[in-house]
Structure 1
Amino acid sequence: MTAHQTIEAQQETLSGAEIVVRALLDQGVDTLFGYPGGAVLPIYDALFQEPKLKHVLVRHEQGATHAAEGYARSTGKPGVVLVTSGPGATNAVTGIVDALMDSIPMVVITGQVATHLIGTDAFQECDTIGITRPCTKHNYLVKDVADLPRIIHEAFHIATSGRPGPVVIDIPKDVQFAKGAYQGPTEVKHAHNYSPRTKGDPARIAEAAALLASARRPILYTGGGVINAGPRASELLRELAELTGAPVTSTLMGLGAFPASDSKWLGMVGMHGSFEANNAMHDCDVMIAVGSRFDDRVTGRLDAFAPTSRKVHIDIDASSIGKNVRADIGIVGDAGSVLEDLIAVWKQRNLATDKAAMAEWWRQIEEWRARDCFRYRQDGEFIKPQYAIERLYELTKDREVYVTTEVGQHQMWAAQFFHFQKPNRWMTSGGLGTMGYGLPAAVGVQIAHPDALVVDIAGDASVQMTMQEMSTAVQYGLPIKIFILNNEWMGMVRQWQQLLHGERYSHSYSASLPDFVKMAEAFGCVGIRAERADELDAKILEMINSDKPVIFDCRVTKEENCFPMIPSGKAHNEMIMAEEARDLGTIIDDAGKRLV
């Protein structure tokens, strides 16, 4: 017997379905989110025999993907999804695209009709590979059970290496029944030589250090890549800010990488970012961009973006560097690794920023900060949405709290008024802006952190898109808190219609909202309603102290707008403040037809 034959004889023969389960275990998976159907029943049968894998039964496949995203974002581990063919796969597409846009590691296993039926328009058949090709980091159609172990292990490697993202594995039903030899993660030979670069070019890192030392008005602009790089990257970001004295701002996805309590924190940058962050971005002379992709909601008008600055762009995805904004120094590498090397160079060369110049820079920043751009007036008994978030933050800040959001005004208010001190505590849909994300994401976060307080800050319109996942929370005893800012509108749509479309409120009013308290009771969880400011604290405490899932209907003022705001097509230093919008009327639109 040859050595090759000996190895084959030692390998265990399993069905394709059993190979899936074994491979998941060998990849360290403890939880998967899914919904059964005919094309994945062999895998579900194999799961029935395996107590080490916890399967969370969602109520819709979109809910499975968002729950997996919440699990992944809060743990740093890949989320895993299992759905059936046809509509099971297509229902998962929204969450797959969401994960791609926000760089969330996820492995999605889909069932497929038997290989001999592919292309015949069989029952619940769709071209899953064709549909998901543009919205995944990679995808596979498994045609031979012999390839299955390799593909699964390869999928996890691709999903979690480099810039994280979703990978789809489409497995026909006959492949799930077929018998094959199982190979573990260290035994398979990958067909794809995927080895992303993590170490930055030392020469360019040295250039970046020298440029930063020469700066008179520097800024550290950070994104979700810092969080994806792990807790050490966040620690290194804090160290770099301390060494240089540079102010720090962040994208929506990067909140928590730098502590909000630090005096060097300017707040979020971009369309609804802080006045000081946006003006500092505009006026800086050196920008160090770490793990951020210069999204349009951050840059505003590209030809007026940070016009006097030289830019260093650090990103593990080479295609992101220079894609939207020209980088003077581009460094491909893991955010943590590059920050560590940058700090090492800074210390070795005994570099320092100009103290007098930095003092003047901070004097200007404090002048911008004095505008108190997020101020609002909480008068009388009606609850302002900003006040609701502030009170939620104050009453939960001493707890181990994780926050998810839906998408809309409430999402921006949460980013403005809920202050994060640690990474991986903030889960939101940034790139795709997916309404309905927050509730199932909270399910995934709570599964990962059973003893933590998990709150979904929601809007009354957005939360209805995946409300059925409250049933999942009840089934698994997950005490998630759904904190709805209920203004009876699609709030951000209404705001844009008011400011950009001549106050023509086309189909943005929710005329037949459910009674959220009764809905909570129907699901078997707790329903709470607050309508007056003087009752808010007591009811928030009732919510967070409940050991059951809670739907909290917080009735807020109906026509509050989210400010500051950079109008579409404007530069960072052309922000509209709340008082200016009230005084001046309608904001300019893209065509320049209406001026404030």
Structure 2
Amino acid sequence: MNTKWKANEQNEQNHQSKEEMQRELSGSGMVIEALRREGVDVIFGYPGGAILPTYDEIYKTGIHHVLARHEQGAIHAAEGYARVSGKPGVCVVTSGPGATNVVTGIADAMMDSLPLVVITGQVASTLIGTDAFQEADMIGITMPITKHNFQVRNVEELPRIIKEAFHIATTGRPGPVLIDLPKDVSLTTGMFDYDKEVNLPGYQPTIVPNRLQIKKVIDSLKEAKKPVILAGAGILHAHAAEELYAFAKKYRIPVVNTLLGLGGFPGDDELFLGMAGMHGTYTANMAIHESDLLINIGARFDDRLTGNLEFFAPNAKVAHIDIDPAEIGKNIPTEIPVVGCAKQALEMLNEEESQQGDTSAWIAKLTEMKNEFPLWYEEDGETIKPQNLIELIHEVTNGDAIVTTDVGQHQMWSAQFYRFNKPNRWVTSGGLGTMGFGFPAAIGAQFAEPKSPVVAVLGDAGFQMTAQELSILQELNLPVKIVIVNNASLGMVRQWQQLFHGERYSNSLFPIQPNFTKLAEAYDIKGMRVDHLSDLKSALEEMMAHPGPVLMDIRVAKEENVYPMISPGKGQHQMEGVKPCNES
């Protein structure tokens, strides 16, 4: 009798669940209900005419929405949220200029493999193609910069489209997916059915690598005397940091990170050589150049990493593990291609046994190189050097902050001098190199981890591109700390003009700037300015101790350059600005 009662109760629950899954809703109601089913806990966006029905549903349901002050702020916040949480960031904006204002963020997410679901309002279906008010062809505009995009023409298709969008954005190589929602579809009612499984025969990413290819990687270790692991952002997207650590330790292989891979391997570990690439460490670049086996896991061999391809890893057998087969062999010839998830690949590698070569002499040489050619800068009395600033931020945060940046000198100094020991604490714009990214990304990162310290290290130029998002900090009292590395210029542009354009500083210097502390105060945010090195550490400690948001204007040496550096056309072994430690 008791068993029968339980069975009847279960049948009733199943019936209720089916009714709940299949009920009549408006298109906008379907959007919000689908987001709820997908576990979305925050939306970043900006309303407007074509998307108003969806915003009406947001009002009715009380789903958490963060109102950006510009659509670019909303999309970058969604990126920061995705980068730190590992979950898809959701951005909702209106048609026309609202939609086109998120294009930069979509391209940024595509380059850096960040999972986003972007919902753009669109004019009514009957008006599409008529140049209607606030109409923009978002399918045509975003086709090259999205993993996939949809335009909804039938409300009955909306549940399937949303479910597919989240599936595509988060599986395989992550990326942005756009859903273009005409206003009439959002107002039309239909049957909401979210119970169907995703069925995409043409989209079946390879997750589990071929075992024979894994064995080839293991076998290559037997002969290797100078192996190196190049670990990219794929390690972080796959949540494979522990597996990478186990693999490197098991076979005693030195590890180099890409810019976006920082944090995938502990920065303080003896096997870590630093970041490779244009402004990477001398040891990291020379290790790749001298290696006889290069195991790339989740990196795409972009130009800022490789330098001149003619000189890249000339003596190395290359193994490339990547979930995106299009990246393997695209830039660098690859002897051992392994298509699959980095986590799965590393688990399989760690299961194998090999009589690997002795790497002790190689590690000893690289350790000596690390000690002899460290990152360096010259102190100059009370002048604040930006490298020292980043070191002190690391010190006062115990190396445990989430750090976001824009692109440029401050980005490179942060990558060099803030040692990341944990995954997903480093949020920066890599492939697209987007100014204005760092501040709103910090807002998204703070929503992803409300209890973690978040420090936005920004250039004085990039900050001004999205400074209006200070309103969010004011409104919600988010404890984001903003550090402006103020050298009164477009720092990296100025550096290149100095080195490669005869010191002709065309439109890269700022003779006049806003008073950043007063700008902060205008938003009722604590503002601080530091001009002298002796005041810096105590000011940073005060900033971190403050319970709410803080903006710090740090006046640093104006003509400091980022070194070491691989100049255009040079190879990794031809770095400039390298000094032995006894000359630093």
The letter of the residue matching 2:236 is: I
2:258 aligned residue (220, 245, 251): 251
CA shift, 1:343, in A, is: 1.1
2:232 aligned residue (223, 229, 232): 223
1:352 matched to 2:361? The reply is no
The letter of the residue matching 1:319 is: A
Q: What residue is the counterpart of 1:311 in the other structure? A: 318
Per the alignment, in what secondary structure is the counterpart of residue 497 of structure 2?
helix
Distance 1:25 1:114 in 2: 25
1:269 aligned residue (246, 269, 276): 276
Q: What residue is the counterpart of 2:396 in the other structure? A: 395
Per the alignment, in what secondary structure is the counterpart of residue 259 of structure 1?
coil
Distance 2:328 2:189 in 1: 45
- Structure 1 residues 21-170: aligned runs within 5 Å: 21-51=32-62, 53-170=63-180
CA shift, 1:373, in A, is: 3.3
CA shift, 1:475, in A, is: 1.1
Per the alignment, in what secondary structure is the counterpart of residue 253 of structure 1?
coil
Q: Is the 8 A contact 1:382 1:533 kept in 2?
A: yes
TM-score normalised per structure 2:
0.95
1:446 matched to 2:446? The reply is yes
The letter of the residue matching 1:442 is: A
Q: What residue is the counterpart of 1:540 in the other structure? A: 540
Distance 2:523 2:20 in 1: 53
CA shift, 1:579, in A, is: 5.8
What is the total number of aligned residue pairs between the two structures? 565
Distance 2:202 2:311 in 1: 41
CA shift, 1:9, in A, is: 11
Distance 2:405 2:473 in 1: 16
Q: Is the 8 A contact 2:142 2:149 kept in 1?
A: yes
Distance 1:189 1:298 in 2: 37
The letter of the residue matching 1:482 is: I
Per the alignment, in what secondary structure is the counterpart of residue 447 of structure 2?
helix
Q: What residue is the counterpart of 1:341 in the other structure? A: 348
Distance 1:92 1:390 in 2: 34
Q: What residue is the counterpart of 2:7 in the other structure? A: none
Q: Is the 8 A contact 2:456 2:481 kept in 1?
A: yes
Q: What residue is the counterpart of 1:325 in the other structure? A: 332
Distance 1:249 1:283 in 2: 13
Distance 2:202 2:35 in 1: 21
The letter of the residue matching 2:503 is: E
CA shift, 1:421, in A, is: 0.6
Give unpaired runs (5+ residues) of structure 1. Answer: 1-6, 584-596
CA shift, 1:182, in A, is: 0.6
CA shift, 1:153, in A, is: 0.4
Give unpaired runs (5+ residues) of structure 2. Answer: 1-17
Distance 1:333 1:26 in 2: 28
Q: What residue is the counterpart of 1:421 in the other structure? A: 421
Per the alignment, in what secondary structure is the counterpart of residue 180 of structure 2?
strand
Q: What residue is the counterpart of 2:436 in the other structure? A: 436
CA shift, 1:323, in A, is: 0.6
CA 15–188 in structure 1, closer or farther in 2 if over 3 Å, else same: farther
Q: Is the 8 A contact 1:244 1:352 kept in 2?
A: no
Per the alignment, in what secondary structure is the counterpart of residue 255 of structure 1?
coil
Segments of 4+ in structure 1 off by > 6 A?
Answer: 7-10
Identity among equivalent positions (%) equals: 52
Q: Is the 8 A contact 1:100 1:135 kept in 2?
A: yes
Per the alignment, in what secondary structure is the counterpart of residue 321 of structure 2?
strand
- Structure 1 residues 165-180: aligned runs within 5 Å: 165-180=175-190
- Structure 1 residues 461-500: aligned runs within 5 Å: 461-500=461-500
Distance 2:345 2:95 in 1: 42
Q: Please tell me the root mean square deviation across aligned C-alpha atoms, in Å.
A: 1.6
Cα deviation digits, residues 67-122 of structure 1 (max 9, x gap)? 00100100100000000000011000000000000000000000000000001111
CA shift, 1:469, in A, is: 0.7
Q: What residue is the counterpart of 1:409 in the other structure? A: 409
CA shift, 1:50, in A, is: 1.0
